[in-house]
Amino acid sequence: MKTIFRIIVPIILIAVFVVLNIIDKVNWKATDYLSFGMIVLTYFYVVFTWEMLQRIETQNYLEKRPYIIADFYKERQVLKIYVENIGKTPAKNVKVKLQPDIVTFQSKSLNQTLFENPIQFFPPGKKVETAINSMNTFFKEEENRNFQIKILYEDVATNKEFSEVIDIDLDHLAQENDIITKTTHDLVKSIDKLTNEIKRT
């Protein structure tokens, strides 16, 4: 469609102008040439303005549309996976599929549990996550470290469908080193243990 408006139509107008001059069917004056030139320039101005408005409209929509992402991360030596809407509008009918599938520490498939059924409504900022396994256990048992996450979803407002394909290499997580820090729970346990030791003495 853009090709028609930007190239074909102007070529037709110019061709008609040339043909009329060749066959001398029209007695062109200087003002006529000027008027024709202004018509062509005005035409291009209208086309470019329309295209600019289309780009602005598209850009505005891209900034406001839902945008579902998924990724792996680790928390306190536990490997987790999450799905999140980082867009500005809600999504619906969100379907997630992991290839190859992963079996969690509960011996359950992610594709048959967390990702089995579509998420009917997914507002902005919503995050769904689950623990997979400890880092050590996962990387000992799982030789494959390359995964692909496919996400299908729709915009609630426009019903427009979107598809995201995310390729992830977990090798960087396997190579990361952590400094083990104590949590509040660990400190409470240490205090309780110390208190018991004092009571014994």
pLDDT higher than threshold 70 for residue 201: no
pTM over 0.85: no
Structure tokens given for 156 = 């609630």
Instruction: Tell whether omega for the bond before 123 is within 30 degrees of 0, i.e. cis.
Output: no
Comparing CA positions, the residue from 115, 173, 171, 109 lying closest to residue 144 is 171
- Model confidence over 5-60: pLDDT tens digits? 566 766 776 776 666 666 655 566 767 667 777 877 887 788 888 888 888 887 88
pLDDT of residue 130: 95
pLDDT of residue 59: 81
pLDDT of residue 38: 82
pLDDT of residue 25: 57
pLDDT higher than threshold 90 for residue 154: yes
Alpha-carbon distance of 144 to 99, in angstroms, equals: 11
pLDDT of residue 182: 54
Alpha-carbon distance of 93 to 116, in angstroms, equals: 12
pLDDT of residue 180: 53
pLDDT of residue 6: 63
pLDDT of residue 185: 59
Alpha-carbon distance of 101 to 97, in angstroms, equals: 8
- Model confidence over 99-152: pLDDT tens digits? 999 999 989 999 999 999 999 999 999 999 999 999 989 998 888 899 999 999
Structure tokens given for 84 = 């999140």
Structure tokens given for 51 = 């295209």
Q: What is the DSSP string of 78-121?
A: EEEEEEEE-SSS-EEEEEEEEES--B-TTS-BSTTTTTTS-EEE
Q: Which of 6-10, 65-69, 78-82, 89-93 has the lowest mean pLDDT?
A: 6-10
pLDDT of residue 39: 79
pLDDT of residue 123: 97
pLDDT higher than threshold 70 for residue 165: yes
